[in-house]
Amino acid sequence: MPYETLDVAIGDDGVGVITLSRPAARNAMSTRMMEELRGCFADFYVNPDAAACLIVTGAGAGFCAGADLKERKGMTDEVWRRQHAVLEQMVRALMDCPVPVIAAVNGAAIGGGMELALGCDFIYAAQSARFALTEVTLGIMPGAAGTQNLPRAVGVRRAKEIVLTGAPFSAEEALAWGMVNKVCADDRLLGEARATALRIAANAPVSLCQAKKALDKATELDRMSGYAFEIEAYNRTVGTEDRREGIDAFNEKRKPRYKGR
């Protein structure tokens, strides 16, 4: 599907790269970008075999400056609510995406841009990356699951400090606080994210999907309920061809050839 604000490329290796492409606006999310991101992630929900792993990054020197405040200037309350409803659907589509998603934050990730990264499964950041949730400085508050995903990454007390001050912080601080998995040299960010994506993509697709679902429940359910969910997810892998292929490949000392079924 052609997009106006995104570049989406899926390689023969199964790794898809979704690039936010409004560099002149620091990749700020216009209504159109919100709609296209919503549609993009929804497409992977419908067609999960289209890619084995996804990377989200930004064009140019920045990741995403959040919602496009120039577009929002003069918006009526009703139009604002409609636009935000699109954003809410986009966030849900991202978090429901069965394909693993890595955020490769190549520059500033501010407001909704940081929330977009937090909605991914994990984050790699360039050394030059900067983060902030600045909403309270603008008379609003995070509304793209930031108050839910951030505490799960850094703890409630640190999340309160980040959200209530609106202060920016560095990639190294994000790493120390547990929000970012890895800090990379700027010129190696995409390469390192791709290397991890390739390692993920080499695994059995059904196993990846089911494991991701179970991991997402770890902070939402009590431990025994979460374990019950894990077993339900696990049992869906038992009858697959890929499960038998994985065991055969191990015993035959060769790489498995997974088919996603």
C-alpha torsion sign, points 172, 180, 166, 77: positive
Q: Residues 237, 207: contact at Cβ < 8 Å? A: yes
Question: 85: part of which helix (H) or strand (E)?
Answer: helix 77-96
Query: Active-site residues: which are they?
Result: 67, 112, 115, 135
3-class DSSP state of 15: strand
Q: Output the DSSP codes for 135-164.
A: GGGGT----SSHHHHHHHHH-HHHHHHHHH
Q: Residues 92, 145: contact at Cβ < 8 Å? A: no
CA distance 238 to 220: 25
